[in-house]
Structure 1
Amino acid sequence: MKIVPVFLCFLLFLTFFLSSLSEHCNPQDKKVLLQIKKALNNPYLLASWDPKTDCCDWYCLECDLNTHRVIALTMFSDDRLTGQIPAEVGDLPYLETLIFRHLPNLNGTIQPSIVNLKNLKMLRLSWTNLSGSVPDFLSQLKNLTDLDLSFNNLSGSIPSSLSSLPNLDALHLDRNRLSGSIPESFGMFHGKVPDLFLSHNKLSGTIPASLGNMDFNTIDLSRNMLEGDASMLFGSNKTTWEIDLSRNMFQFNLSKVEFPKSLARLDLNHNKIMGSIPAGLTGVDLQFLNVSYNRLCGRIPVGGRLQSFDYSTYFHNRCLCGAPLEACK
Structure 2
Amino acid sequence: MAAEKTLLLILCVSVLLVSAAVGAKERCNPQDKKALLQLKKDLNNPYVLASWNPDEDCCTWYCVECDSKTNRIITFSIYLSVPEGKNFTAQIPNSIAGLPYLQTLELHHLPYLTGPLNPAIAKLTNLNFIRITRTNISGPVPAFLGQLKNLNFLDLSFNNLTGSIPPELAQLPKLETLHLDRNHLTGPIPPSFGSFKSNNPYVYLSHNNLSGPIPPSFLKLNFTTLDLSRNKLVGDASGLFGADKGTQTIDLSRNQFAFDLSKVKFPKTLIYLDLNHNKIYGEIPAQLTSLDLQFLNVSYNRLCGKIPVGGRLQDQDVYSYLHNKCLCGSPLPNNCTK
**TM-score band (shorter)?**
over 0.9
Q: Do residues 109 (structure 1) and 116 (structure 2) align?
A: yes
Among 308, 313, 317, which residue is 2:315 paired with?
308
CA offset at residue 162 of structure 1? Answer: 0.6
Among 38, 43, 46, which residue is 1:40 paired with?
43
CA offset at residue 19 of structure 1? Answer: 3.9
Tell me, yes or no, if the aligned pair for 1:62 and 1:72 is still in contact at 8 Å.
yes
CA offset at residue 22 of structure 1? Answer: 2.4
Tell me, yes or no, if the aligned pair for 2:199 and 2:223 is still in contact at 8 Å.
no
- The residue type equivalent to 1:121 in the other structure is N
Among 27, 31, 46, which residue is 2:30 paired with?
27
Q: What corresponds to 1:57 in structure 2?
A: 60
Q: What corresponds to 1:245 in structure 2?
A: 252
CA offset at residue 17 of structure 1? Answer: 8.7
Tell me, in whole angstroms, the C-alpha distance in 1 between the residues paired with 2:291 and 2:248.
11
Among 234, 237, 240, which residue is 1:233 paired with?
240
SS at match of 1:71: strand
Among 271, 274, 282, which residue is 1:267 paired with?
274
- The residue type equivalent to 1:205 in the other structure is G
Tell me, in whole angstroms, the C-alpha distance in 1 between the residues paired with 2:302 and 2:24.
70
Q: Do residues 296 (structure 1) and 303 (structure 2) align?
A: yes
1:240-291 residue CA offsets vs partner (Å, 9 max, x unmatched): 0000000011111101001001000000001110111011111111000000
Tell me, in whole angstroms, the C-alpha distance in 2 between the residues paired with 1:79 and 1:15.
42
CA offset at residue 69 of structure 1? Answer: 0.5
Q: What corresponds to 2:182 in structure 1?
A: 175
Among the aligned pairs, what percent are the same residue? 60
Q: What corresponds to 2:143 in structure 1?
A: 136
Q: Do residues 328 (structure 1) and 336 (structure 2) align?
A: yes
CA offset at residue 173 of structure 1? Answer: 0.3
Instruction: Please identify, of 16-25 and 229-238, the stretch whose mean Cα deviation from structure 2 is larger.
Output: 16-25
SS at match of 1:100: strand
Distance 1:296 1:94, change over 3 A: same
1:177-214 residue CA offsets vs partner (Å, 9 max, x unmatched): 00000011111213444200000000001111112211
- The residue type equivalent to 1:93 in the other structure is P
Among 65, 76, 80, which residue is 2:79 paired with?
76
CA offset at residue 310 of structure 1? Answer: 2.0
Among 172, 187, 198, which residue is 1:165 paired with?
172
Tell me, yes or no, if the aligned pair for 1:168 and 1:193 is still in contact at 8 Å.
no
Tell me, in whole angstroms, the C-alpha distance in 1 between the residues paired with 2:227 and 2:271.
14
Tell me, yes or no, if the aligned pair for 1:182 and 1:203 is still in contact at 8 Å.
yes
TM-score (norm 1): 0.94
Tell me, in whole angstroms, the C-alpha distance in 2 between the residues paired with 1:289 and 1:208.
25
Among 247, 257, 264, which residue is 1:257 paired with?
264
SS at match of 1:105: strand
Distance 1:15 1:304, change over 3 A: closer
Tell me, in whole angstroms, the C-alpha distance in 2 between the residues paired with 1:315 and 1:176.
29
CA offset at residue 52 of structure 1? Answer: 1.1
Tell me, in whole angstroms, the C-alpha distance in 2 between the residues paired with 1:39 and 1:88.
7
Tell me, in whole angstroms, the C-alpha distance in 2 between the residues paired with 1:20 and 1:30.
16
Q: Do residues 92 (structure 1) and 94 (structure 2) align?
A: no
SS at match of 1:128: strand
Q: What corresponds to 1:194 in structure 2?
A: 201
Tell me, in whole angstroms, the C-alpha distance in 2 between the residues paired with 1:22 and 1:284.
57
- Unaligned runs of 5+ residues in structure 1 are 1-13
SS at match of 1:266: strand
RMSD over aligned Cα atoms: 1.4
SS at match of 1:104: strand
- The residue type equivalent to 1:22 in the other structure is A
Tell me, in whole angstroms, the C-alpha distance in 2 between the residues paired with 1:124 and 1:231.
31
Tell me, yes or no, if the aligned pair for 1:165 and 1:191 is still in contact at 8 Å.
no
Paired residues in the alignment total 316
Tell me, yes or no, if the aligned pair for 1:166 and 1:192 is still in contact at 8 Å.
no
Tell me, in whole angstroms, the C-alpha distance in 1 between the residues paired with 2:336 and 2:46.
65
CA offset at residue 125 of structure 1? Answer: 0.8
Tell me, in whole angstroms, the C-alpha distance in 1 between the residues paired with 2:301 and 2:211.
19
Q: What corresponds to 1:153 in structure 2?
A: 160
- Unaligned runs of 5+ residues in structure 2 are 1-15
Q: What corresponds to 2:221 in structure 1?
A: 214
